[in-house]
Amino acid sequence: PALHRLNLGSGLTMEDELLTDGIEAIHVLFGIDLDGDGIANQYKSNPTVAELAIAMNARIYVLVRSVDKDPQYTDGKTYTLGDLCYKVGGGGGCNTLTDASATSEPQKYHRRVFSSTVVLRNIAYRAQLKP
């Protein structure tokens, strides 16, 4: 797994650029302020256009995996990214973590979840806040 981005190159072609290895999943939840008090009342991963207009922040989750296997380690954890979960082999309503290069040993990697909440500069939202 890796994180890539596409850049517009010369001749109007898209060029793939590797940013970093080991990124298995990224998930974003948008904080929606339903009553205009400046505090998110709910977090949604698939907000409507109207809900995005009143989004005040975003919670960003990243699931990172070690590049190399550790033969002495067995990963049996469940990783929670907001309203999603991931688990080696799946199960319990979670998404499955696999390794395409070695499907028999995806549990031999160390994993970690990082998260951060960022404030959105949402002009439409700020204009409707209650004084």
Express each pLDDT in 15-51 by its tens digit: 999 999 999 999 999 999 988 888 899 999 999 999 9
Name the residue among 83, 88, 86, 82 with its Cα closest to residue 115: 82
Compute how many other C-beta atoms are within 10 angstroms of the C-beta atom of residue 62. Answer: 18
pTM over cut 0.85: no
**pLDDT in the model for residue 26:** 96
**Tokens standing for residue 14:** 């898209």
Low-confidence residues of the chain, pLDDT below 70?
99-104, 106, 123-131
**pLDDT in the model for residue 99:** 67
**Tokens standing for residue 55:** 């989004």
Q: Which residues contact 97 (CB under 8 A, 6 or more apart)?
A: 24, 79, 86, 87, 88, 89, 90, 106, 111
Beta-strand ranges (E) seen in the chain are: 2-8, 14-21, 23-32, 42-44, 55-65, 78-81, 84-88, 95-97, 111-119
Beta strands at 95-97 and 84-88: parallel, antiparallel or unpaired: parallel
Residue 123 three-state SS: helix
**pLDDT in the model for residue 78:** 92
**pLDDT in the model for residue 62:** 97
